[in-house]
């Protein structure tokens, strides 16, 4: 069974509050206008709401073209009750610096924003605000709203790094625009639900999985990679993350090009499960770029079926 593309989003939670890049990603999903949007204060809180059935879906950031994987998301979806990625969205990221009313750029001593935003403006900050004090916040919009909602004179910091939209929504003065160190940076967001039917195979799909590394398995990484290499499967992301269960305990978080409904992907997943029973399937879903996945002739579905038919014929002699 495949998931109905027009299935309603229902109650949809996201890394909030209003005005985050995550909200922009969610609003890009068809049907978002009909959904009930529920802001969450963190990625784990958003995913917990889906696991508990308080929300039907969650939109969360997963990967950044400058900073790499978003650990809060990669780690949370890798443990606890299974979740399933249904779709991805790419959002172009540009940051502004907003200040508390009356502050000038030259007076800014304390800045707050999300850690991923901070990492993307460090060069600009060093050049323009050397020695500034940084306070991490739950999201870019949370930092700006803390500034906007504070009693005048008792703001927790002088400025926040956020999306241009939040500057408009809060009316906070913009002290600098386009302060990102890398222009054209993109963040990838994923729409997550509870396990269910997979989105239909489109020919331009991605599959996400995690594989915990057993302690007593020399060559484990090589064996994981072999499963993909021999079946002509391209990986678009592979990261090792600590499991949190002790020094040296790691899992791999992997995105591969292809859909579980394709023979070569199903065969690779089945083989991984034989070798590493802790492998976790986190979803097959259409790629945001819609670039078709290149499949070499000998690893196509037709080639797999022909190979099996040949063996079946031998056995039936």
Ligand X SMILES: O=C(O)C(=O)Cc1ccccc1
Residues contributing to the site for ligand X (CB under 6 A) = 15, 20-22, 61, 93, 114, 116-117, 139-141, 187
Q: Considering the complex, what minimum distance in angstroms separates the CB of residue 114 from ligand X? A: 4
| CB nearer to ligand X: pick between 21 and 228 | 21
Q: How far is the CB of 94 from ligand X (least distance, A)?
A: 10
Please tell me the distance from the alpha carbon of residue 256 to that of residue 1, in angstroms, as a whole number: 22
Q: Which is nearer to ligand X, 46 or 272 (CB)?
A: 46
- Cβ–Cβ under 8 Å, residues 180 and 124: yes
Q: Are 11 and 56 in contact (CB under 8 A)?
A: yes
Minimum Å gap between C-beta 57 and ligand X is 16
Burial pattern 124-142, b for ≥16 Cβ within 10 A else e, equals bbeebbeeeebeebbbbbb
Residues with Cβ within 8 Å of 256's Cβ and at least 6 positions away in sequence, in order, are 206, 207, 209, 228, 233, 234, 235, 236, 265, 268
- Inter-axis angle of helices 263-275 and 220-229, nearest 10: 160
The residue among 21 and 276 lying less far from ligand X, judged by its C-beta, is 21
| Closer residue to ligand X (CB): 61 or 99 | 61
Q: In the complex, what is the shortest distance from the CB of residue 35 to ligand X, in angstroms, rounded to a whole number?
A: 17
Compute the least distance from the CB of residue 140 to ligand X, in Å.
4
Structure tokens at 150: 């504070």
- Closer CB to ligand X, 22 or 299, in the complex: 22
Instruction: Provide the token pair at 106.
Output: 């030259």
Check: CB of residue 276 under 8 Å from CB of residue 211. yes
For ligand X, give the closer residue by CB, 192 or 256: 192
For the bound state, the minimum distance from the C-beta of residue 137 to ligand X, rounded and expressed in Å, comes to 8
């Amino acid at each position: 069974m495949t998931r109905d593309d027009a299935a309603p989003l229902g109650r949809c939670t996201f890394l909030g509050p209003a005005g985050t890049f995550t909200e922009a990603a969610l609003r890009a999903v068809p049907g978002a206008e009909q959904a009930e949007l529920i802001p969450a204060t963190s990625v784990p809180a958003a995913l917990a709401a889906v696991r508990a059935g308080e929300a039907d879906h969650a939109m969360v950031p997963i990967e950044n073209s400058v900073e790499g994987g978003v650990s809060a998301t990669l780690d949370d979806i890798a443990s606890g009750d299974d979740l399933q990625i249904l779709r991805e969205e790419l959002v172009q990221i540009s940051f502004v610096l907003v200040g508390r009313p009356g502050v000038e750029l030259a007076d800014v001593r304390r800045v707050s924003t999300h850690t991923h935003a901070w990492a993307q403006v460090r060069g600009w900050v060093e050049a323009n605000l050397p020695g500034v004090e940084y306070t991490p916040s739950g999201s870019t919009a949370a930092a700006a709203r803390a500034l906007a909602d504070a009693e005048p004179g008792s703001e927790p910091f002088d400025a926040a790094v956020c999306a241009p939209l939040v500057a408009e929504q809060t009316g906070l003065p913009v002290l600098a625009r386009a302060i990102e160190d890398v222009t054209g940076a993109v963040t990838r967001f994923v729409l997550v639900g509870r396990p269910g039917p997979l989105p239909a195979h489109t020919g331009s799909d991605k599959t996400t999985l995690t594989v915990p590394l057993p302690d007593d398995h020399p060559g484990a990484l090589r064996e994981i990679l072999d499963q993909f290499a021999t079946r002509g499967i391209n990986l678009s992301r592979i990261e090792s993350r600590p499991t949190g269960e002790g020094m040296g305990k790691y899992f791999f978080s992997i995105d591969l090009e292809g859909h579980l409904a394709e023979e070569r992907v199903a065969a690779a997943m089945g083989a991984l499960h034989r070798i590493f029973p802790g492998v976790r399937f986190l979803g097959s879903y259409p790629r945001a770029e819609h670039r078709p996945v290149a499949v070499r002739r000998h690893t196509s579905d037709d080639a797999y079926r022909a190979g099996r038919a040949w063996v079946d014929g031998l056995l039936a002699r």
